[in-house]
Structure 1
Amino acid sequence: MEVKVKYELEFPIHVSPSLLYQYISTPSGLSEWFADNVNSRGELFTFIWDDSEEKAKLISKRSGERVRFRWLDEDGVETEYFFEMKILEDEITKDVSILIIDFAEEEELDEARLLWENQISDLKHVLGSN
Structure 2
Amino acid sequence: MPKKKYQVEFSINASPSLLYNYLSNPSGLSEWFANNVNSRGEKYTFIWDGHEESAFLMKSKQDTYVRFQWEDDEDTKYFFELNIVVDELTNDVSIVITDFAEEDEVEESKELWESQIEDLKKVLGSK
TM-score grouping bracket, smaller chain normalisation:
over 0.9
Tell me by how many angstroms 1:92 deviates: 1.4
Counterpart of 2:37 in structure 1: which amino acid? V
Q: Show structure 1 runs of 5+ residues with no match.
A: none
Tell me by how many angstroms 1:51 deviates: 3.2
Give the TM-score taking structure 1 as reference length. 0.93
Matching residue of 1:126: 123
Tell me by how many angstroms 1:78 deviates: 4.7
Counterpart of 1:54 in structure 2: which amino acid? E
Cα RMSD over matched residues?
1.1
Q: Which runs of 4+ in 1 moved over 2 A?
A: 77-80
Kept in 2: contact 1:71–1:79 (CA 8 A): no
Cα deviation 1:49-76 (Å, max 9, x = unaligned): 1132111110100000000001112xxx
Counterpart Cα distance in 1 of 2:100 and 2:125: 28
Secondary structure, in 3 states, of the residue corresponding to 1:39? strand
Tell me by how many angstroms 1:120 deviates: 0.1
Give the TM-score taking structure 2 as reference length. 0.95
Q: Show structure 2 runs of 5+ residues with no match.
A: none
Counterpart of 2:16 in structure 1: which amino acid? P
Tell whether 2:45 aligns with 1:42: no
Structure with higher strand content = 1
Q: How many percent of aligned residue pairs carry the same amino acid?
A: 61
Matching residue of 1:23: 22
Matching residue of 1:52: 51
Matching residue of 1:105: 102
Counterpart Cα distance in 2 of 1:3 and 1:39: 29
